[in-house]
Amino acid sequence: MTTRVLVVDDDAHILRAIRIHLTACGYAVRTAQTGRAALRASAAEHPDLVLLDLGLPDLDGTAVIAELRSWSTVPIIVLSARTDGADKINALDTGADDYLTKPFSMPELLARMRAAVRRSGSPTDRDMVVATMDFSIDLAAKKVLSRTGEQVHLTPTEWAILEILVRDRGALVSQRRLLSEIWGPTYRTETNYLRVYLAQLRRKLEPEPARPRYLITEPGMGYRFQD
């Protein structure tokens, strides 16, 4: 299992240097040069680690961290040229996991990356199959079986929504997180989509689609999978 890293920096040279190093060490590298691009890439690719430079042209670095943290728990290591202590504290308190001041040594960065990935490692080792009274969901095989045992066909988008809700079953998932993870951060207000797809999921899964029992709406906040 290769670790996927998203590297964010506005300087193309640094980007290239880091990419070469990390690729040589066995990481799968994606890059972004702006804050918005970083958010888009995070939502689309779900990297296992983010290396973030604070000096971006479009967004403040802490704003990127805050936005990311509103729906993701991916480890974030900040790389910054600023030696100011206040920047460090701000970044860490906003949600960054580590902070390195440029120039840094490559071996140290690699060690801190290993530490960050190790820490975040596999809290998702939960049961891969979730069974209810009316259907069962196999997260590993990406299959849904009805009570009679026949397979329920889900479209890719339907599956994406169901997977997020089931992975955090019982917990409330904000519509912002759903929209960010599936359509990208720019669609945060298109709650239309969620209404449509939740209706479709209910029609396929719920015994009484009009009175949902598993796919619960929490008005104004989000949705919840109740098993």
Distance CA 185, CA 44 (A): 9
Q: Is 157 in the site for DNA (CB under 7 A)?
A: yes
**Cβ 134 to DNA shortest distance, Å:** 16
223 closest CA partner among 170, 154, 157: 170
User: In the chain, what is the straight-line distance between the N-terminal and C-terminal CA atoms, in Å?
Assistant: 31
- Select from DNA, a second copy, none the partner in contact with residue 172, using the beta carbon and a kind-dependent cut-off of 5 to 8 Å: a second copy
From the list 41-49, 81-89, 93-101, 151-159, the region that binds DNA by CB under 7 A is 151-159
Dmax over Cα atoms in the chain, in whole Å?
A: 63
Please report, as ranges, the residues that interact with a second copy according to CB under 8 A.
85, 88-89, 92-93, 95-99, 105, 107-108, 110-112, 114-115, 118-120, 122-123, 140-143, 153, 155-156, 159, 170-172, 218-221, 224
- List CB contacts of 215: < 8 A, sequence separation 6 or more: 165, 198, 201, 202, 205, 206, 223, 224, 225, 226
Among 198, 205, 214, 225, binds DNA (CB under 7 A): 198
Distance CA 75, CA 121 (A): 10
Q: Is 174 in the site for DNA (CB under 7 A)?
A: no
DSSP code at position 27: -
**Cβ 114 to a second copy shortest distance, Å:** 6
Per the listing, tokens 């951060």 go with 185
What is the size of the binding site for DNA (CB under 7 A)?
25
- Select from a second copy, DNA, none the partner in contact with residue 171, using the beta carbon and a kind-dependent cut-off of 5 to 8 Å: a second copy
Q: Is 59 in the site for DNA (CB under 7 A)?
A: no
Closer to DNA by CB, 34 or 191: give it: 191
Among 190, 207, 226, 227, binds DNA (CB under 7 A): 190
51 closest CA partner among 106, 93, 89: 106
Closer to a second copy by CB, 40 or 213: give it: 213
**Cβ 221 to DNA shortest distance, Å:** 7
Distance CA 57, CA 12 (A): 13
193 near 179, Cβ under 8 Å?
yes
Q: Specify the length of the chain in residues.
A: 227
Which residues here bind DNA, judged by CB under 7 A?
A: 153, 155-158, 175, 183, 190-196, 198-199, 202-203, 209-210, 212, 217, 219-221
